[in-house]
Amino acid sequence: MKQTTKNWIGAIALVLGSSAVTGAVVRGTVSGNQPLAGNPAAAATSPMVVPSGFVDLTTAAESAVGSVVYIKVTQTGKTQRIQIQDPFSDFYDFFGFGGRGGQPQEREYRQPDRHAAGSGVIISADGYIVTNNHVVGEADEIEVKLNDNREFKGRIIGCDATTDLALIKIDAKDLPAIKIGNSDDLKLGQWVLAVGNPFNLTSTVTAGIVSAKARSLGANGIESFIQTDAAINSGNSGGALVNENGELVGINAMLYSQTGSYSGYGFAIPTSIMNKVVADLKVYGTVQRAILGVQGIDVSIWIDNEKAKGNEPDLDVVEGVYIDKVTDASAAEEAGLQKGDVITEFDGKKVSKMSELQEAIAQHRPGDKVSITYKRAKKESTVKVTLRNIQGTTKVMEEVDLDQMGVSLKPVTEDEKKTLGISYGLTINAIRNGKMKSAGASKGTVILWVNDQKMQTEEDWENAVTSANQSTDRTLWIKAITPSGRKVSYVIELDEN
């Protein structure tokens, strides 16, 4: 479970009181047929709200718990080459025994395996499961345990760090897939259940209400969290947030705490974002992310910042997204949006803050045409915009296959460092037909830099290739050194097949 901490200074927690009814919660209704709204006299003389009726959560809990799985992950320890100085080398040299030479010895050290656990939600009867990227993103082995105690090996279909979502698959049939609801229909104060496996306590259900919507914490690239006071703890990550009908409305992702354990604030990724991400991962293996091309801030925050500077801002609007910057050659620039504009609607949906705009854009793909309503100099306008991808096009982005590079890499040895006069690098220890061979690379060549990034580990190489694939030019600029010490450069276009 991701954890976000905050220090509260001078804050006092005041408990007003609560009532618990096993398997049910009390819903209040107003007695009488006359509504109180707009009738001050009636409000003054009407009796207090009387609790009547129950919201039975047992059915929702029993249906949802069968669709939530326990996920155990293993990250294999990496093998590193380290130098070890023999502590007795000076002793042997002093007495003339020799044989040690005082030279450091190079040995391999394998880090211990790392284990972790989380939750997941079955979304299809044939074994597709949604969870968090931070649960399975770095996993080498995935074990999935169902509520009926059956166990399966899981494999990753795709991960998206930007939204902290991941899709995995197990080979099984006739699984109890959860019914997916519409998170947009959630209301503040509505009852929800958090289902997961906190602290390895499998099949745990907690109840609470929707405390806020479209909450932003700055933890992910795209976020519009559902905030709930249903208890969410470590191990709940990837579990289900369901409504009174047992429908999935969010994927539990974070807790907000001073201690690392639940303290009243939990956050879930809404299904409005999840549906699009999962569909893309299933079809393309990567998310087809639409980009508008603006950097902005909540209007309310911008106004507060300006007042703090002694200014008196007058935008004629107190809700929306203030555009601070328009990216060059973006969809927003093409549509004529400018710094200082305030976006108030996106494709007919009201936008009151940045997280709502992010959530709305996240439901679209590059190439989609949408309408944007904004205010400029107190005048409202609406324009049509064709959304683009991060590369500035409307083409489908495919996940780059590292096998296309055609190389096997390993960190340089101490001998190679001394011979070539370098302190880092990745040696090509095997090469076959692929992009690297076509560019002129050969076995024994040491890769030093890729797109201004030092190459020290295989993970550096993977990250550099992935980052280049998502950039506008999709090009690898490689600096290397041959076994003879000759410095060389390679240019690889990832657009080419």
What pLDDT score was predicted for residue 45? Answer: 38
User: Do 397 and 389 contact (CB within 8 A), yes or no?
Assistant: yes
- Give yes or no: residues 417 and 462 share one domain: yes
- Give yes or no: residues 352 and 441 share one domain: no
Least confident of 118-122, 170-174, 253-257, 486-490: 253-257
Q: Could you say which of 287, 303, 333 is where a domain stops?
A: 287
Q: Could you say which of 261, 287, 313 is where a domain stops?
A: 287
Q: What is the CATH number of the domain that holds 222?
A: 2.40.10.120
From 168, 159, 169, select the one nearest 133 (Cα to Cα): 159
User: Do 105 and 116 contact (CB within 8 A), yes or no?
Assistant: no
- Give yes or no: residues 278 and 376 share one domain: no
User: Do 419 and 482 contact (CB within 8 A), yes or no?
Assistant: no
Q: How many whole angstroms separate alpha carbon 199 and alpha carbon 260? A: 12
Handedness of CA 61, 64, 66, 71 (dihedral sign): negative
Q: How many whole angstroms separate alpha carbon 142 and alpha carbon 120? A: 12
297, 302, 305, 306: CA torsion to nearest 10: 140
Q: Does the pLDDT at position 359 exceed 80?
A: yes
Number of domains in the chain: 3
pLDDT band at residue 111, thresholds of 50, 70 and 90? Answer: confident
What pLDDT score was predicted for residue 9? Answer: 24
Q: How many whole angstroms separate alpha carbon 185 and alpha carbon 47? A: 31
Asked whether residue 38 is assigned to any structural domain, the reply reads no
What pLDDT score was predicted for residue 49? Answer: 40
- The b/e string for 242-278 (b: 16+ C-beta within 10 A; e otherwise) is bbbebbbbbbbbbbbbeeeebeebbbbbbbbbbbbbb
H helix runs in 55-208, sequence order = 58-65, 89-94, 133-136
SS3 assignment, position 460: helix
> What is the phi-psi region of residue 180: left when phi exceeds 0, alpha when psi lies from -120 to 50, beta otherwise?
beta
Backbone angles phi, psi at 457, to 5 degrees: -135, 165
Paired strand residues for 205: 195
Asked whether residue 208 is assigned to any structural domain, the reply reads yes
Q: Could you say which of 386, 411, 426 is where a domain stops?
A: 386
**What single-letter DSSP state applies at residue 7?**
P
Q: What is the mean pLDDT of the chain?
A: 84
Asked whether residue 408 is assigned to any structural domain, the reply reads yes
Percent of the chain beyond pLDDT 90? 62
What is the token pair recorded at 323? 């555009």
The 10s digit of each residue's pLDDT in 189-231 is 999 999 999 888 888 999 999 999 999 988 888 999 999 999 8
- Give yes or no: residues 300 and 348 share one domain: yes
What pLDDT score was predicted for residue 396? Answer: 80
User: Long-range contact list for 185-192, CB < 8 A, 24+ apart?
Assistant: 186/210, 186/213, 186/226, 186/243, 186/249, 186/270, 188/212, 188/213, 190/243, 190/244, 191/25, 191/55, 191/57, 191/243, 191/244, 192/226, 192/228, 192/230, 192/241, 192/242, 192/243, 192/244, 192/249, 192/250
What pLDDT score was predicted for residue 88? Answer: 56
The CA-based diameter of the chain, rounded to the nearest angstrom, is 106
- Give yes or no: residues 275 and 319 share one domain: no
What pLDDT score was predicted for residue 292? Answer: 96
**Amino acid in the structure at residue 390:** I
**Amino acid in the structure at residue 241:** L
> What is the phi-psi region of residue 291: left when phi exceeds 0, alpha when psi lies from -120 to 50, beta otherwise?
beta
* C-alpha triplet 316, 345, 185: angle, nearest 5°: 125
Asked whether residue 44 is assigned to any structural domain, the reply reads no
Asked whether residue 92 is assigned to any structural domain, the reply reads no
What is the token pair recorded at 52? 């009547």
Asked whether residue 29 is assigned to any structural domain, the reply reads no
Asked whether residue 28 is assigned to any structural domain, the reply reads no
Q: How many whole angstroms separate alpha carbon 492 and alpha carbon 441? A: 11
More confident residue, 96 or 183: 183
- Give yes or no: residues 306 and 410 share one domain: no
Q: Does the pLDDT at position 18 exceed 50?
A: no
pLDDT band at residue 85, thresholds of 50, 70 and 90? Answer: low
From 377, 392, 373, select the one nearest 334 (Cα to Cα): 392
- Give yes or no: residues 408 and 381 share one domain: no
More confident residue, 233 or 64: 64
CA distances from 233 to 92, 99, 324 (A): 57, 57, 37
- Give yes or no: residues 128 and 247 share one domain: yes
Q: Does the pLDDT at position 184 exceed 90?
A: yes
- Give yes or no: residues 420 and 304 share one domain: no
Q: What is the CATH number of the domain that holds 350?
A: 2.30.42.10
What is the token pair recorded at 479? 């600096």
pLDDT band at residue 259, thresholds of 50, 70 and 90? Answer: confident
- Give yes or no: residues 414 and 309 share one domain: no
- Give yes or no: residues 426 and 344 share one domain: no
- Give yes or no: residues 127 and 269 share one domain: yes
Q: What is the pTM of this model?
A: 0.73
Burial tier of 429 (Cβ tally within 10 Å: 0-12, 13-18, 19+)? exposed
Domain that holds residue 342: 294-386
**What single-letter DSSP state applies at residue 183?**
G
Residue corresponding to tokens 């099949």: 203
Active-site residue numbers? Answer: 134, 164, 237
Asked whether residue 82 is assigned to any structural domain, the reply reads no
